[in-house]
C-alpha cells in the first residue's frame, strides 16, 4: 500500500457505508474481550483517519470532566493529524501504542449511547464542496486538526470541549466528503482557539496579580 503524499487520497470517492454502520459491524464481529488500537485501525482500513479522529475526540465531549483525559487522548490525535497533514494513506502507530487496548464491552456500551446521535448527524452530511477535501485540501485540514489536537492536549481548564467538537465534526466531514461540514468544524476550531487564548491570558493575569499582591 502506497503511503506517499498524494497516494490514494481520502477524498477519492464517497464511502458506501456510514461511520455508524462501520462501527456497528466492527463491534458485532469482534469477539475478543479486549480491542487493541492496532486491531481497530486495521479493521477501518483507508477510512481509519476519519473514524479514529472521531473516536479519540468523542470522550472529550462527555459532560463529565475526567482529569488528564484530554492529555491522554491528545497524543494519538496529534499523531493522526500529523500523518493526515503529511498525506499518509493509512494511520501508523508505534508498536507500544498499537498494543494498547480497551474492554470490548465498554466500547460496545459507548457505541450504544452515542450511535443514535451519530446517525442523526450523518443524515445531515453528504458529498458537497468536495474541492475542500482534494489532496491539497486534506493536507491543510490535517494541519488545522493538528493545531486543535495540540490545544486539546494542553491542560487548559474549560478549553477542551470546543476543540474536541471541532475535530469530531471535521472527522465526520472527511469520511462523508462534506466540505461544508469541514467549514463548520473549522469555524468551531477557531472559536476554540479564541476561548483557549482567553483562558490562558486570564490565568496569566491572575498569576501576575497574585505575585504583585504577595511581593508588593
For residue 180, what is its C-alpha cell?
461544508
pLDDT, tens only, 87-109: 887 888 888 888 888 888 888 88
**Predicted pLDDT at 1:** 41
pLDDT, tens only, 68-88: 566 677 788 888 999 988 888
Number of domains in the chain: 1
C-alpha triplet 104, 175, 148: angle, nearest 5°: 85
* Residue that has been written with the C-alpha cell 494519538 in this structure: 76
Helix (H, G, I), strand (E, B) or coil at 169: helix
Question: 171 lies in which domain range?
Answer: 19-215
**Predicted pLDDT at 4:** 42
Does a structural domain hold residue 11? no
Does a structural domain hold residue 4? no
Does a structural domain hold residue 170? yes
Question: What is the C-alpha separation between 205 and 171, in angstroms, rounded?
Answer: 35
12 contacts 46 by C-beta, under 8 angstroms = no
Name the residue among 128, 129, 122 with its Cα closest to residue 171: 122
Does a structural domain hold residue 10? no
Name the residue among 184, 32, 16 with its Cα closest to residue 101: 32
Amino acid at each position: 500500500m502506497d503511503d506517499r503524499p498524494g497516494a490514494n487520497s481520502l477524498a477519492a470517492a464517497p464511502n458506501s457505508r456510514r461511520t455508524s454502520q462501520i462501527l456497528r459491524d466492527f463491534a458485532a464481529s469482534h469477539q475478543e474481550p479486549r480491542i487493541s488500537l492496532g486491531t481497530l485501525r486495521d479493521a477501518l482500513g483507508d477510512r481509519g483517519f476519519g473514524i479514529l479522529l472521531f473516536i479519540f475526540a468523542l470522550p472529550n465531549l462527555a459532560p463529565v470532566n475526567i482529569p488528564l483525559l484530554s492529555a491522554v487522548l491528545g497524543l494519538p490525535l496529534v499523531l493522526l493529524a500529523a500523518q493526515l497533514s503529511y498525506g499518509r494513506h493509512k494511520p501508523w502507530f508505534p508498536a507500544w501504542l498499537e498494543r494498547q487496548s480497551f474492554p470490548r464491552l465498554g466500547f460496545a456500551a459507548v457505541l450504544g449511547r452515542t450511535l443514535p446521535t451519530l446517525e442523526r448527524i450523518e443524515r445531515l452530511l453528504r458529498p458537497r464542496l468536495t474541492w475542500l477535501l482534494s489532496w491539497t485540501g486534506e493536507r491543510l485540514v490535517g494541519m488545522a486538526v493538528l493545531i486543535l489536537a495540540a490545544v486539546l492536549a494542553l491542560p487548559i481548564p474549560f478549553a477542551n470541549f470546543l476543540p474536541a467538537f471541532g475535530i469530531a465534526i471535521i472527522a465526520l466531514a472527511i469520511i462523508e466528503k462534506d466540505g461544508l461540514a469541514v467549514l463548520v468544524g473549522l469555524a468551531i476550531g477557531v472559536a476554540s482557539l479564541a476561548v483557549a487564548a482567553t483562558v490562558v491570558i486570564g490565568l496569566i493575569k491572575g498569576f501576575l496579580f497574585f505575585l504583585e499582591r504577595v511581593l508588593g
